Amino acid sequence: MNIELLRQLCLSMPGATEDIKYGTDLCSSIGGKIFCGIRIEGPFRTGLKCSENDFAELTERAGIVPMPRLSATGWIRIEKSAALNKKEWEQSVKKSYELVVLSLPKRKKSALGLP
């Protein structure tokens, strides 16, 4: 996985937007809440939200660690693009997006045309 493919994957999610945050992170959001953060300068790093079960499983893999300061809320940091294969990347980004959508208020979901 590279930055451009990951960016395209994030933007393929309904209602997804992107902007630069924290100086070096390209963040994909839905309803103003981040579901994927991609470092665009320096070593490869991507942050994703995941379920408790996925968190435990994924952080056992080489190249994936709990996200500092956000691990308690289910965020992981992927430090090696090869830590996931293409299908796993697609599934992980989609799950992160879906978890963030679930946390949005009903009014915001409705405004975005989301169920």
Q: How far apart are CA 84 and CA 88, in angstroms?
A: 5
CATH of the domain at 61: 3.90.1150.30
Tokens of 58: 């994924």
- The per-residue pLDDT for 79 is 96
**Residue 32 resides in a domain:** yes
Top-confidence residue, 71 or 21: 21
Q: How many domains does the chain have?
A: 1
Q: pLDDT at position 71, please?
A: 73
Note the pTM of the prediction, 2 decimals. Answer: 0.93
In degrees, to the nearest 5, what angle opens at C-alpha 46 toward C-alphas 32 and 73?
Answer: 60
Q: What is the mean pLDDT of residues 90-106?
A: 96
Decide if 113 is inside a domain: no
Q: Specify the pLDDT at position 9.
A: 97
Q: Give the position of tokens 């960016």.
A: 7
The answer to whether position 16 is within a domain reads: yes
How confident is the model over 38-94, as pLDDT tens digits? 999 989 999 999 999 999 999 999 999 999 888 778 999 999 999 999 999 999 999
Rg for the chain, CA atoms, rounded:
13
Q: Is residue 111 part of a domain?
A: no
pLDDT at 68: 87
Query: Which residues form the domain of 55?
Result: 3-104
